[in-house]
Structure 1
Amino acid sequence: MKLALTDEQRAMVDSVRQLAQEKFKGRVHRWQDGTFPHENLKELADIGVLGMAVPEEFGGLGLPVLDCVLVLEEVAKVCYVTSMAAMAAMGAQNRIIANYAPKHIQEKFLPGVATGEVILAICMTEPHAGTDVANYKTNTVIKGDTVVLNGTKTLISRADEAHCFIVFTRVDGRPGREGIGCVLVDPAVAGFEVTARYHTMGGENLAEIQFKDMELPRENLIIEGDGMKKLLTAFNTQRCMNPSVSLGLAEGAYEEAVKYVREREIFGRPTGTMQGIRWKLADMAREIEVSRSMLYRAAASADPFPDPYLAAIAKMQVNEMAIRVTSDALQVHGGYGFTDEYPVSHFYRGARYGTLGGGATETLKDLVGRRVYEHFPADGFLSFGLM
């Protein structure tokens, strides 16, 4: 198999790389206190990036998951906060609206996503339940032409900026995973309140949101009970987008490490001429190349959503790799790596998010192990997990 970028993909990647290197790089420190990178998102929208996952009929480009992965990777090579903000336009919340919402809701929100005028957010985790979806307590009650939402979600990105929230919720109190659906929430409606804010080591803000007797139109209940399979199928997209950010962070840190060891001298010669440093660079390059191949393969399997096995494998590999590589890149910088004067510390802090969001490593290990146990074929890998 040969994976080569098309001329169109290469042109888009080059455009994003140029924008990130020339504009975003000098602004990275502006977003470390939780300030939202509206300026960067506007420039990404201007070159079509925020519309990549929006269907053409709603003003987007309707491009595959792989194209989105390639672009997020380039943004993350420079700015973690901006890559996470851009991911909202390409991830699960967008895919849920584009694939499951009625057309009038698609027409209301998706064109604005493409232009950067509409910011999306997704609400899954609850204070007592993250991975344990079956124990979600947030509940939506159907009352004729309206629905009433109550509950609390936590560790939510873009709570102060989003115009639309996709909320995973129980429907009419139905128990277990089968009772989960999702409702579209407008934060301007009475009953929406941000009750706590948390500043992360990566620079962005997360929040706790409370929904109290929120009355919404019945049509906002995009997926009713027994919709967990649909929701998680769409969420597999997130398991390619999240590691694309991790991959970009690792590559950004690696590029800084190579630059540093070429310029820094020790005992009268460049640090990069030392065998111990060269071997470290070789190991880092090997890990990045392996991870890129796995992620691109998972993203290329999307039709329209990535294969869950390939996405889980890729996410585990890339997330864990990024922690190791950014740590090694920081080590190569010596004491300077521990300061904020060098970009490598920014990459290191951002990389720590990957294994936590979009499905923790431990959760994905269990998912993969269960699938292998139940479905691994007699002829082995020859026909298992192949596109």
Structure 2
Amino acid sequence: MDFHLNEQRKLMIASVRDLAQGKFKTRGLQYLDGSFPWDNIRELAHIGVLGMAVPEEYGGLGLPVFDTALILEEIAKTCYVTAMAVLGEAGVQTRVISTYAPKEMRERILPKVCTGECILAVCMTEPHAGTDVANYRTNTVVKGDRLALNGTKTLISRAPEAGVFVVFTRINGQPGREGIGCVLVEAGTPGLAVTGTYHTLGGENLHEVQFNDCELPLENLVIREDGFKKLLTAFNTQRCLNPSISLGLAEGAFDESIKYVKERSIFGGPISDSQGIRWKLADMYRDIEGARGLLYKACASANPFPDPFQSAVAKITCNEVAIRVTSEAIQVHGGYGFTDEYLVSRLFRGARYGTLGGGATETLKDLIGRRLVKDGDSPDGILALAA
């Protein structure tokens, strides 16, 4: 497949790269304590990047999944925390609002997403249920023209900063997947509380969010019918954007390793003279390029959402490649690579998240396996699986 970047894409990526390499890389250390990267977010808003998933009619760029993945990949090369913050504005929550929310809400919320005035938080995981959506206990009762929301969500990104929470919830206590819907809750709503903080290996904070008799207008119920199906369809986009961050982390670690082996000397010469080091670099590059091809192919399948089979394969591959490559980058750097001051250490921390978020690796492997059993004996051969 041809993934040629036209001039517009090249200019866009160059603008992001200049910011990331010039500013985000040096600021990355300060975000390891859980601080939100407001400075980086404002600068990305200034060049329009926060609106990349927002339709043009609401002030955004309306970019396809492929372009969005390219931008996240570039940011992740220098700062995992910033990439995750931007994912919140480009991921499933923005697409839920732009696709399913009433026009008045889209007009009010989405322009503020573009400018960085409104940070979005998607609330899915519960203390007892992550991937097992059918066992959600958070519930919304419809009472005439009002809604009453109760429940607890956990491991939520950007909760203290969020202006709008996109909450997947059961509707009227209907059991199973058929009962899943989605409501929007704005910050400041009585009964909404951020009640817990978990500091992560990658540096960002995750939070617990409680909804205690939150009263909402009926129009805040943005998904009621086929909620589970709509959730999974929109989430396929997340399964291309999550691995784009993993790919960027691997590329950033590889770039740093190339620089380091040329500058660092051992036994009277650069360590790049060592065959063992060169073989490590060769394996790292091979992993990255293989993962890139799978990811870009999955992104190109989006119409408007990516193919679930291709995105699952790409996600698993990119997530695992990021762990391997960032780990090898630390080995290449020796003891320095184990310190916070060196970028490869921070990239390694972030890489561990990929297999956990956006669909756990084990869940996606099962999805892939079922598809292989169902269609693996196609008369057109293995290529038919990804057609």
**Alignment TM-score, normalising by the size of structure 2:** 0.98
Task: Give 1:214-229 correspondences, 5 Å limit.
Answer: 214-229=214-229
Contact 1:336 1:342 (C-alpha < 8 Å) held by counterparts: yes
How big is the shift at 1:37?
0.8
Task: Specify the alignment match of 2:249 in structure 1.
Answer: 249
Shift of 1:372: 2.1
Moved over 4 A (4+): none
Distance in 1, matches of 2:292 and 2:97, equals: 28
| Aligned 8 A contact 1:140 1:173 in 2 | yes
Q: Please state how far the C-alpha of 1:225 moved relative to its aligned partner.
A: 4.4
Distance in structure 1 (CA, Å) of the matches to 2:269 and 2:383: 49
Structure 1 regions of 5+ residues with no counterpart? none
Counterpart of 1:380? 381
2:290 corresponds to 1:290:
yes
Counterpart check, 1:328 vs 2:333: no
- The whole-number CA distance in structure 1 between the counterparts of 2:344 and 2:210 is 36
Give the whole-Å Cα distance in 2 for the aligned partners of 1:117 and 1:200: 25
Question: 1:33-88 deviations in whole A, cap 9, x for unaligned?
Answer: 11111111111011111111110110111111111100111111001111111111
Which residue identity does 1:26 align to in structure 2? T
Give the drift of 1:153.
Answer: 0.4
| 8 Å contact from structure 1 (residues 277, 332) kept in 2 | yes
Tell me if the contact between 1:243 and 1:319 (Cα under 8 Å) persists in the aligned partners: yes
Q: Which position in structure 2 is the counterpart of 1:37? A: 37
Shift of 1:226: 2.9
Shift of 1:6: 1.1
Letter of the 2:73 partner, please give it.
E
Whole-angstrom CA distance in 1 between matches of 2:281 and 2:6: 29
Q: CA RMSD in A?
A: 1.0
What are the residue-to-residue correspondences of 1:170-209 with 2, within 5 Å? 170-209=170-209
Looking at structure 1, the residues matched to 371 and 104 of structure 2 have their Cα atoms a distance apart, in angstroms, of 38
Corresponding residue of 1:73? 73
Tell me by how many angstroms 1:173 deviates: 0.7
CA displacement, residues 314-364 of structure 1 (integer Å, 9 cap, x when unaligned): 000000100000000001111111111211100000100100101110011
Q: 1:254-296 CA deviation, whole Å, 9 max, x = no partner?
A: 1111111111111111111111111110000000001111111
| Counterpart AA for 1:20 | A
Does residue 1:213 correspond to 2:213, yes or no?
yes
Find the aligned partners of 1:69 and 1:226 in 2 and give their Cα distance: 27
Output the CA distance in 1 between the equivalents of 2:114 and 2:272: 44
Distance 2:383 2:248 in 1: 31
C-alpha distance in 2, partners of 1:322/1:127?
28
1:122 to 2:99 alignment:
no
Residue 299 of structure 2 aligns with which residue? 299
Please give the alpha-carbon distance, in whole angstroms, between the structure 2 residues aligned to 1:120 and 1:381: 40
The 8 Å contact of residues 170 and 225 in structure 1, kept in 2 or not, is answered as no
Residues paired across the two proteins, number? 386
1:264 is matched with: 264
- Measured against aligned partners, the alpha-carbon deviations of 1:161-215 in whole angstroms (never above 9, x if no partner) come to 0000111101011111111011111121111111210011111110011111111
CA distance in 2, matches of 1:98, 1:368: 29
In the TM superposition, what whole-angstrom CA distance separates every residue of 1:117-156 from its partner, at most 9, and x where no partner exists?
1111101100011011111111111000011111110000
Equivalent-residue separation in structure 2 for 1:363 and 1:146 (angstroms): 36
Partner SS state of residue 173, structure 1: coil
Q: 1:235 is matched with which residue?
A: 235
Cα deviation for residue 378 of structure 1 reads 2.9
- SS of 2:315's partner is helix
Partners of 1:176 and 1:342 in 2: CA distance = 47
Secondary structure of 1:163's counterpart equals strand
Contact 1:174 1:225 in 2 (8 A): no
Residue 166 (structure 2) aligns with? 166
SS of the residue 2:153 aligns to? strand
Per-residue deviation, residues 85-120 of structure 1 (Å, max 9, x unmatched): 111111000011111111111111111111111111
CA–CA separation in structure 2 for the residues paired with 1:221 and 1:277: 56
1:10-89 aligned within 5 A: 10-89=10-89
Query: What SS does the corresponding residue of 2:127 show, helix, strand or coil?
Result: coil
Do the aligned residues in 2 keep the contact of 1:240 with 1:295 (CA within 8 Å)? yes
Stretches of structure 2 that go unaligned for 5 or more consecutive residues are none
Q: Which amino acid aligns with 2:194?
A: V
Q: Identity over aligned residues, as a percent?
A: 66
Give 1:370 shift: 1.5
Q: Distance in 1 between matches of 2:236 and 2:383?
A: 23
Structure-2 separation of matches of 1:339 and 1:25:
15
Q: Distance in 1 between matches of 2:366 and 2:192?
A: 35
| Alpha-carbon distance in 2 for matches of 1:159, 1:243 | 23
In the aligned structure 2, how far is the partner of 1:62 from the partner of 1:191?
A: 34
SS at match of 2:134: helix
Instruction: Tell me the distance in 2 between the aligned counterparts of 1:196 and 1:90.
Output: 25
**CA distance in structure 2 between the aligned counterparts of 1:138 and 1:326, rounded to whole angstroms:** 38
- Give the whole-Å Cα distance in 1 for the aligned partners of 2:230 and 2:277: 47
Residue type of the alignment partner of 2:57 = E
